[in-house]
Structure 1
Amino acid sequence: MNAVIEYREVILSGTLVTISLALLSLLLSIICGLVGAFLKMSQTPLLRHLGNGYTTLVRSVPELVLMMLIFYGGQAAVNALGTRTGWWDYVDVNQFLAGVLTLGFIFGAYMAETFRGAIMAIPKGQLEAAVAAGMSLAKVFTVVTWPQMVRYALPSFANNWLVLVKSTALVSVIGLHDLVWNSVAAGRSVHQLFSFMIAVLLIYLAITAISDIGLRWVERKYSVGLARG
């Protein structure tokens, strides 16, 4: 393990990239999830079909395939558009940005199902009463829908987050210098790949443990009223 200690700065740098990637992807997935949930619950057939198509596509295609499509296909599409319109020269898509967009897009579909189920669990009478009391739709969402949706969605949300954290390892295939990429490169350079993979395992376990503590705190916060009842 001396080699791991010697390369600790490289591993730390990769860890910070992984954590940043996971957090930004989570933020994007929440936004995509909320949009997807409301699309799937829309009374407009076209919007409902768009929402269903989004979740079906993501659940049908492997995450690695989507990442390669967005990174390589997206780069080709952007450059083809620039060449045709003359608006820009060659664009090199950033690996970090591609990773965030891909993971956010993928887990947004799972979040959409999570949020949709949570919203449907809220008694309709509460929403109707809020509207009848004169609340705007935005007020109804922030005061009535959101607090209860969070409580109902937390178990599935926590699972999605933990899977997302593990899925950040996929970005190493497109050359992003994350925890896995840096550790593999360092391990191969000193012919101690197993030791570095053990270090990666322990770091992911630490991230998971800290996440679990944070999620339990959020669960207690949004279940205070329920616990008193």
Structure 2
Amino acid sequence: MLQGYGSTILDGAWLTVQLALLSMAVAVALGLLGAAFRLSPVKWLALLGETYATVIRGIPELVLILLIFFGGQDLVNRIAPLLGHEDYIDINPFVAGVGTLGFIYGAYLSETFRGAFMAIPKGQGEAGLAYGMSPVRVFLRILVPQMIRLAIPGITNNWLVLVKATALISLVGLQDMMARAKSAGDATREPFTYILLAAAVYLAITSVSLLVLRYLERRYSVGVKAAEL
């Protein structure tokens, strides 16, 4: 039925999973940094974080991917000769995809993390300081665990959207699952079969992700509901 293209599609699926996981790691790091900037009492940092979140969330993902990939490649090749490198630099599509998706979804996660931190009562951090804990320990032992619990629903939504957005990276040359499904469909003249297969694999990835994230949400909520009652 798949005419020998099944293994090719699975290889592309594994590449898609790697792309999504690494992009999410970059997005989480940028999201935490963006949230810290937006909550900072330093005005220019708060403005920088707010600008990042507002601009990136206001432009479609496809436009940003094309802008960052081709614009970034052009910028690199303009700067390289100034540093003594004369050869043309071709940016790896996988690296570009990770950086681009991480940069885009970092803006969305900055809002998720900002809201989660703001939902934690200020008195809890103050109580930790009153007990003699250092600010770093208060942040890591008191604030972060509660922030994660509050942020998991938002993280879940962003992760699901990010997984689906990986299909857009095929437009810049990455041979991910979507690109391989399209190639197989063109070669066999059965595009519906392979696009449907890709859709089923995306659904499987997101379904497994939901199970894992719901487990984490329950894990981080242990004792919380009982305490509220």
TM-score (norm 1): 0.96
* One-letter amino acid of the structure 2 residue matched with residue 59 of structure 1: R
Q: Determine the structure 2 residue equivalent to 1:79.
A: 77
* One-letter amino acid of the structure 1 residue matched with residue 63 of structure 2: V
Within the candidate set 161, 168, 180, 1:170 is matched to: 168
* One-letter amino acid of the structure 2 residue matched with residue 139 of structure 1: R
* One-letter amino acid of the structure 2 residue matched with residue 167 of structure 1: A
| Deviation (angstroms), 1:163 | 0.4
Within the candidate set 6, 24, 28, 1:26 is matched to: 24
Within the candidate set 49, 57, 61, 2:59 is matched to: 61
Within the candidate set 120, 133, 149, 1:151 is matched to: 149
Moved more, 67-76 or 37-46: 67-76
Work out the number of aligned pairs and report it.
227
Give CA deviations for 1:193-221 in whole Å, capped at 9, x if unaligned. 00111101110110011001100110111
- Unaligned runs of 5+ residues in structure 2 are none
| Deviation (angstroms), 1:91 | 1.4
| Deviation (angstroms), 1:89 | 3.5
Q: Determine the structure 1 residue equivalent to 2:49.
A: 51
Identical pairs, percent: 48
Q: Determine the structure 2 residue equivalent to 1:190.
A: 188
Distance 1:127 1:163 in 2: 33
Give CA deviations for 1:89-140 in whole Å, capped at 9, x if unaligned. 3211000011101110000001000000000000000011112222222211
Distance 2:54 2:98 in 1: 20
Q: Determine the structure 1 residue equivalent to 2:111.
A: 113
Q: Determine the structure 2 residue equivalent to 1:39.
A: 37
Q: Determine the structure 2 residue equivalent to 1:100.
A: 98
State the SS of the aligned residue for 1:42.
coil
* One-letter amino acid of the structure 2 residue matched with residue 197 of structure 1: I
* One-letter amino acid of the structure 1 residue matched with residue 161 of structure 2: V
Distance 2:142 2:87 in 1: 49
Distance 1:100 1:78 in 2: 17
Please give the root-mean-square deviation of Cα atoms over the aligned residues, in Å. 1.1
Distance 2:89 2:223 in 1: 52
Q: Determine the structure 2 residue equivalent to 1:216.
A: 214
* One-letter amino acid of the structure 2 residue matched with residue 116 of structure 1: R
Distance 2:134 2:87 in 1: 46
State the SS of the aligned residue for 2:132.
coil
Does structure 1 residue 180 correspond to structure 2 residue 178?
yes
